[in-house]
Amino acid sequence: MSSLSLSDFEKLSRISDAKVFLKSKLNSKKYESIIKGFNYETELLKLQAELVELQQWVAKNKKRICIIFEGRDAAGKGGAIRRFTEHLNPRSMRVVALTKPTESEMGQWYFRRYIKELPEPGELVFFDRSWYNRAVVDPVMGFCNDDQYEKFMLQVPEFEHMLYEDGVVIIKFWFSISKDEQLRRFNSRLANPLKQWKFSPVDKEGQKRWDLYTKYKDKMFEETHSTFSPWIIIKTNQKKKARLESIRYVLSQFNYDGKRLSKTSITPDKSVAVVYKNNLIK
C-alpha cells in the first residue's frame, strides 16, 4: 500500500472523491473503520449544533433542565456527558459529579447536597451520577443501611414530583452495559496508563456483585419510574451510538427555536434509547 500524502488530498474537491481515493488505498476493514468514524464525527457535530440552539432557548426562556446519567461503571456516562457539553456555553451549563458525602453531609437530609446543585433559571445541569446512588450503589456496596435505603425509595418519587411541579425538567438516563463488555472495558483501562485512575476496587466488586446490582436496579426502575420523571434506558455496548441517541432523545423533548437547523434527525433510535415500561406507571 502506497503512503498517503497531503498533496494527494489537496487534489480532491469532494467528500465522495476522498472516499473513492481512500477505498483504493486501504484494505476494506481499515476503510470501513475510517468511514464509520467520519460519519460519527459528522453526525455528532450536527447534534451538538442543535444542543447549542437548545441551550440558547433554555437561557432565553429561563428553563431549568436537569439531566441525570446513571448506570454501571464503564457504561460510558462520562464520555457521553463530554459530548453533550463540548460546545455549550459554560456560563449557563454545569456538570455535577459529587464525591462521597462528608461527615457533616451524612448527618443531613440525604437530598440536601443535591438540592444545592439543581439548575438555576436558564441553566442546564448534567449529573454524572446523582441522588440515585442511594438506590443501587449504596445498598450493593454497603454504604447505607436498610432504613436509609427504604426511606430514600419512599421519598424520591415525591421529591421529583415537587421538582416537576416547580418547573424543573428531569431527564433520567440509565446507561446499560453487558457484563462481558464491562469487563472488556475494565481490562482496557488497566492496560492504559492514562486511564488506570478510572479503575477502583468498587469497579472490581461491581463485576462480582453483578446480580445484586441488577436486583436493585430493577427495583429502582419499578418504584421510581413515573410519567413526569421516566427512566430512559440507553444501550451502551456501542459507545458512539449511545452518545448520539442520548443526545437525540434530549433534543426530541423540547420545542426550541432553531430546531432541526442542522438538517439531521433528532428522533432517537428506539432500539437504543428505550423508555422503561412497567405495569404500574406512577
Query: Hey, which residues does 64 pair with through a beta bridge?
Result: 123, 168
What residue ranges define each of the domains in the chain, with the CATH number in brackets? 40-275 (3.40.50.300)
pLDDT in tens, the chain (282 residues): 455 565 665 665 566 655 666 666 667 677 677 888 889 999 999 999 999 999 999 999 999 999 999 999 999 999 999 999 999 999 999 999 999 999 999 999 999 999 999 999 999 999 999 999 999 999 999 999 999 999 999 999 999 999 999 999 999 999 999 999 999 999 998 888 878 887 777 777 888 999 999 999 999 999 999 999 999 999 999 999 999 999 999 999 999 999 999 999 999 999 999 999 864 333
Rounded CA-CA distance 250/267 in Å is 10
| 244 contacts 47 by C-beta, under 8 angstroms | yes
Contacts for 106-111 with beta carbons within 8 Å, 24 or more apart? 110/134, 110/148, 110/151, 110/152, 110/155, 111/155, 111/159
Specify the pLDDT at position 280: 36
Close Cβ partners of 69 (under 8 Å, ≥ 6 residues apart): 77, 80, 81, 126, 127, 128, 129, 130, 173, 175
261 touches 49 (CB < 8 A): yes
**For residue 93, what are the β-bridge partners?**
124
